[in-house]
Amino acid sequence: MSTFVLIPGAGGTAWYWSRVVPLLERAGHEAVAVDLPGDDESAGLPEYTRLVLDAIGARTDVVLVAQSLGGFTAPLVCDRASIIRELVLEPYQRPEANAVFESVCDFTEWPSIATRVLSGRDDRFFPVEFQRRVAKERLGLTPDVIAGGHLLALANPEGVAKYLLRG
């Protein structure tokens, strides 16, 4: 059994993952959606990282899944927690305070763990061709693409869960 720790994007609400969590749990896994203080002007990446690490706790066999802006928190968590088995980047939002955008993302190198990138074919916020270019240039990876827009876990929860479960 794996534990999927799910990091939301801008706005920080765990609710974003509400349609994926039951699908992962029905498949026999634990799913923990982290709620981040996206609207808190004093909370930046250090606070986000601490909250995700607290959510992981003593769990092992963790698959860390980060949506959009959560992709900045995820490598910081991986840098501080050696129990992350895999990182999946998946490029409901409330206003995001500027603090997170002003935070330093201070990891020195990308974590040496299995990493996959999932993109929405119909993403109008970050078009799939842009995501392919960035993933290739920065990670040396080609994104897997499924139907849906920027908020894949809401638009295509079955596709996201299926992708996560195939490990």
In this predicted model, what pLDDT tens digit does every residue of 61-114 receive, in sequence order?
999 999 999 998 999 999 999 889 999 988 644 456 677 777 887 888 888 888
Q: State the total domains in the chain.
A: 1
Beta bridge partners of 84: 62
Best CA proximity match to 126, nearest among 152, 108, 100 = 152
Q: CA geometry: angle at 105 spanning 33 and 11, to 5°?
A: 40
Kindly provide the residue ranges of all beta strands, DSSP E only, lying in 62-161, ordered along the sequence.
62-67, 84-90, 114-120, 144-146
CATH of the domain at 53: 3.40.50.1820
Residue 162's pLDDT is: 96
Residue 112's pLDDT is: 87
Percentage of residues of the chain with pLDDT beyond 70? 96
Composition of the chain by helix, strand, coil, percent to 5: 35, 20, 45
* Structural domain boundaries enclosing 108: 3-165
